[in-house]
Chains A and B, each alone.
Chain A
Amino acid sequence: DSGVTQTPKHLITATGQRVTLRCSPRSGDLSVYWYQQSLDQGLQFLIQYYNGEERAKGNILERFSAQQFPDLHSELNLSSLELGDSALYFCASSVGLSSGSYEQYFGPGTRLTVT
């Protein structure tokens, strides 16, 4: 158990809909990351937040948005869903941002199926 929790575990929805994925980081971790894993694209970094502020953006579509709340939990919002958005979405957390390198702890993921 990494200490990172994600809800829901599974989500099935229709094209055009909007969903929200939730992540609670490990206690004390200030950075949250979102990754998408699909069969054709592999694991891809989407976005990072540090203590409530957006820190880095990766291959995140404009239809997707995220935020980190004062209690440090994060939500990933996916809208106007397409079949190609079906994937595993992982949240990870790490201690911090300052110089050095920190291991990331991944949650169990949310499996999104768009029909």
Chain B
Amino acid sequence: DAKTTQPNSMESNEEEPVHLPCNHSTISGTDYIHWYRQLPSQGPEYVIHGLTSNVNNRMASLAIAEDRKSSTLILHRATLRDAAVYYCILSDIQGAQKLVFGQGTRLTINP
């Protein structure tokens, strides 16, 4: 399984944008980039995923570097509810769909 590297923790202020980085230098051509988050006392929650192009949905945006060796999850206007552990995960398009979770980034939002 290809590995991802994320900062252990980040802090931001409410109503400001947040950029969560992820490095995945060993990514293969068939790996999708997924982001999940886990709010306190809840199961993981799907945020967004992409392959090569940048992606937007109602929750966030995913910016993928041209060489695909890194990506950034963008929360455009953080709220207190966005405080969670964010996981960047690679999943092979051709293989089993299992998710291999790393340590993730613990995001703290200050009021």
Interface residues of A (CB under 8 A from B): 2, 4, 31, 33, 35, 42-45, 48, 55-56, 58, 90, 92, 94, 97, 99-109
Find out whether the CB atom of B43 lies under 8 angstroms from the CB atom of A94.
Answer: no
CA distance A31 to B97 in the complex (A): 9
Interface residues of B (CB under 8 A from A): 32, 34, 36, 38, 42-46, 49, 51, 87, 91, 93-103
- The number of A-B residue pairs with CB atoms under 8 Å apart is 64
8 A-B pairs whose Cβ atoms sit less than 8 Å apart in the complex: A42-B102, A43-B38, A45-B98, A55-B96, A90-B44, A104-B36, A105-B46, A108-B43
Find out whether the CB atom of B43 lies under 8 angstroms from the CB atom of A101.
Answer: no
Could you say which of A43, A100, A105 contacts B101, with CB atoms under 8 Å apart?
A43
CA distance A78 to B4 in the complex (A): 31
Could you say which of B43, B98, B101 contacts A42, with CB atoms under 8 Å apart?
B101
